[in-house]
Chain A
Amino acid sequence: MLWLALHLPLLSLEAFCATLPAQAQPVAVALIHQHRIAAVNAAAAACGVRPGMKRATALALVADLRLADTDTARDAAALQAVAHTALAFTPAVTLHDAQTVLLEVQASLRLFGGLVALRQRLAAALAPLGHRVQMAAAPTASGAALLARWHPADRGDLVLGAHARQLSALEPLLDAAPVWLLGPGREHWEALQGMGLHTLADLRALPRAGLARRFGAGLLDELDRARGRQADPRRWLEWPATFDSRLELFARAETSEQVLAGASVLLARLVAWARARQARVGSFTLRMGHERQCQAQVPATELHVELAEPALDAAHLQLLLRERLGRCQLAAPTLELQLRCRHLVVGAAPNGELFPTRASEAVGLVRLLERLRARLGDEQVQRLEPVADHRPERASRSVPVQGTAQGTVPARPGAALAAVSAAASAPVAPALPHHRPAWLLPEPLPLAERGALPLLEGRPLQLVSGPERIEAGWWDGVPAVRDYFIAQAEDGSLVWLYRSRLPAAVDDAGWFLQGRFG
């Protein structure tokens, strides 16, 4: 067994800082637990704030200290994202304590090309979450967790080295570890230190029976498990089938940029969750809880982002969200963000291309269309669909560019343009001669008349071809019985006009301009 432990010493501090609005310069931040300072960041420590101080003392030292209570739910959500990231590398992931994630990676070494490469990829995958991570490897789970918590500067890298493989090499390392690693929450913790026990070796030198009577069997069990003398069964973490993560913002987010800064934390978690299944995100929903306005509850805003092509690129997801946010108007300042995702597309990601090819161009085009749709709306990005109908106003139909709107996700990359490429292989037969105009007016334009001849902009039109009778639509209630003519305008350009054969109303009588030959 080869265990890799990820210890996050500043987890609760970092989880809180993610809810702060982006700052140009670092601000002093401290977390409070039961009226005492529990954690401080570097800026606060530089001003002399130390863990264990009282709240008033800390505020006396730094007037604009950002203080917040520790929140186990917030820490757990952040730790879960780390665990999800780890799930992409091995199915055997477990939470050791509130700040440590354990991975069993023996079976993954070959796939990822050894421990060095695996550590590199794991560190790269964890980077977007923005946590300080201490990593250590050991043949036992508790041993790895202890080493990761210790992480002494003079020991060098605790991932590589003989101790990662051999218990015999691990033991001297554990012996040198200080006793406080066993955890400050433990009973008799002060007594341990009061007895002058500094390292685990000191503890081990004591008689076992007496130690067990004095401090309980749990302490001995933990030591034995770390040294591989006792079985250490673990329950593996299960991958949740849906993603739902909340983030309560520290300050009110009034601009979409501020909302986006908070949402980027959630998006990084979403990507970690999807990557654990080697799946890609098909759509996601951002729910923004608003501040109460004038004693009235403002309903939460929900933004649903559908991707034409499932993606696993946080930058791309953020880009789409930015366009969507830019389009919507927020009713009130945002206090809380919630990101949900139920729609994953499982399957191998499309291959990247080294050189630009037709396939990579199609993927790029889909991304471009996605951006345009996110910003302008689905109705503004369309393609034309010919319809078999003789009435010109019905012969073409505009349809949204691609099919995810119906809830179907293209099964293969670039399939969003499938209709496009399929159409390319079967070109429209030029069945009709050129006597249909390329431009059709949205509404037929009534023309003035002089001597039974139509006028366009005060100039007479010269009828040169026609009539062509179109009589259709009696079956769907919008009948059209019209005689169409091609006419020449003053400057020689050709226009298409009609006269109703049997005008049903006064408005229908006379000449109408229907299109222009572009």
Chain B
Amino acid sequence: MPILQALENLHPALWRAHQVARPSEAVLPSGHADLDAQLPGGGWPARVLTELLLPHAGVGELRLLAPALAALQRRQRAVMWFDPPAAPCAWALGALGLDARQFVVVRSRGGARGRARERLPAVDVLWALEQALKSGHLGAALAWLPARLPADALRRLQLAAQAHDGPVFLLRDAQERTRPSAAPLRLLLASAGPDRLRVTLLKRRGPPLAQPLTLALAPVLSAPALARAQSARGPAAAVPRVGVPV
């Protein structure tokens, strides 16, 4: 037994199957205590990819990431967004404690490239993301990657991320959950009701977590509206109410 204990101390990359890994790099606390408890090191890992799989944009992913990004902005680190699915609303981000003026939004060039573009839908965003990660000057990167990616693209990004001192969030479609991925941390996000987010840890450096976590997000709804929404999610939710609540 002492030998086994010594084994974990040999190298920070070693951990035993029933333990959660202890990354040697500093992690970035996610701001959600329940989630931090389950993440290796207690936060979003730096220098590796973190994959967030979501059924569609707008399940609360920004509210999940907002505390960590706000912490980075307070430290004057730059955050880049690559190919966001819609226009981010500056006022909404401000309400989340983020300063939208500090974000740099990089979009890939649309159309005009014909067949080559269809074959390689993400060549721009992959190139830009790789350059940004390799430069090592970013605080965090958020990238919305398309569904069809060449198999080696994620491995390339994973290698590039080693030069990047901060988390890299890849936001991808939930259908990708069955595909293998080079990212050491994969989370499946789904809405669990108004202002609630269900997080399933698909992959982490540690034992699998059977139960999904349910996180409370920064509230959008007022208390009466929340009660109304929750009552509607009961068995009667399937019956549409006629009329408009005023």
Contact residues in A for B245 (Cβ distance below 8 Å): 463-466
Return the CB mask of A349-388 against B: 1 if under 8 Å, else 0. Answer: 0000000001001101101110110011100111111110
Is the CB–CB distance between B191 and A376 below 8 Å? no
- The reply to whether the CB of B219 lies closer than 8 angstroms to some CB of chain A is yes
A194: interface (CB < 8 Å): no
How far, in whole Å, are A387 and B91 apart by their CA atoms in the complex?
A: 9
Residue of chain A at shortest CB distance from B232: A462
B215 within 8 A of A: no
Interface residues of B in 80-138 (CB under 8 A from A): 84-97, 99-109, 124, 127-128, 131-132, 135-138
Whole-angstrom distance between the alpha carbons of A442 and B86 in the complex? 7
B residues 210-246 with Cβ under 8 Å of A?
A: 218-222, 225-226, 228-229, 232-233, 237, 240-246
Name A493's contact: one of B58, B91, B105, B246 (CB within 8 Å). Answer: B58
Task: Report whether B108 and A376 are in contact in the complex, using a CB–CB cutoff of 8 Å.
Answer: yes
Q: How far is the CB of B96 from chain A (nearest CB, A)?
A: 7
Highest count of chain B CB atoms <10 Å: which of A398, A421, A450: A398
Q: In the assembled complex, how far is the CB of residue B239 from the closest CB belonging to chain A, in whole angstroms?
A: 9
Residues 429-441 of A, flagged 1 when their CB comes within 8 A of B and 0 if not, give 1111111111111
Given A451-B242, A516-B57, decide whether A401 and B104 contact each other with a Cβ distance below 8 A.
Answer: yes
Q: Is the CB of A518 within 8 A of B57?
A: yes
Distance, CA A377 to CA B106, complexed state (A): 10
Task: Tell me the minimal C-beta distance from B116 to chain A in angstroms.
Answer: 14
Cβ of A495 < 8 Å from any Cβ of B?
Answer: yes
Query: What is the CA–CA distance of A107 and B193 in the complex, to the nearest angstrom?
Result: 78
Selected interface stretch from A11-19, A30-38, A198-206, A484-492 = A484-492
Chain A contact patch, size range: 35 or more
Contact partners of A429 in chain B: CB under 8 A: 94
Q: Are B220 and A486 in contact (CB under 8 A)?
A: yes
Cβ–Cβ contact B89 & A439, under 8 A: yes
Q: Whole-angstrom distance from the CB of B212 to the nearest CB of chain A?
A: 14
**Minimum Cβ distance to chain B for residue A293 (Å):** 23
Interface size on B, residues (CB 8 A): 73
Tell me, rounded to whole Å, the shortest Cβ–Cβ distance linking B91 to chain A: 5
Chain A residues closer than 8 Å to B237, beta-carbon distance: 462
In the complex, are the beta carbons of B88 and A439 less than 8 A apart? yes
Give the distance in Å from the alpha carbon of A86 to the alpha carbon of B137 in the complex.
Answer: 36
Q: What residues of A have a CB within 8 angstroms of the CB of B226 in the complex?
A: 464
Question: Given the known A-B contacts A436-B89, A464-B221, A488-B232, are A383 and B135 also in contact in the complex, defined by CB atoms under 8 Å?
Answer: no
Report A-chain residues with C-beta under 8 Å of the C-beta of B175. none
Contacts A372-B131, A493-B58 hold; do A428 and B94 have CB atoms under 8 A apart?
A: yes
- Asked if B182 CB lies within 8 Å of chain A CBs, one says no
- Minimum Cβ distance to chain A for residue B62 (Å): 4
> A438 contacts which of B73, B89, B128 (Cβ < 8 Å)?
B89
A420:B101 contact, CB within 8 angstroms: yes
Q: Does A467 contact B (CB under 8 A)?
A: yes
Known: A371-B131, A462-B237. A439 touches B244 (CB 8 A): no
Closest chain B CB from A447 CB (angstroms): 13
Q: Is the CB of A368 within 8 A of B106?
A: no
- In the complex, A441→B57 CA distance in Å? 11
The answer, among A382, A428, A460, A515, for a CB contact under 8 Å with B104, is A382
- Complex alpha-carbon distance, A432 and B91, angstroms: 7
Q: Collect the chain A residues with CB atoms within 8 Å of residue B128's CB.
A: 372, 375-376
Given contacts A380-B106, A432-B94, 6 further A-B contacts (CB under 8 A): A368-B132, A375-B128, A396-B100, A398-B87, A428-B90, A493-B191
5 contacts between A and B (CB under 8 A): A382-B107, A396-B89, A431-B94, A437-B92, A467-B246
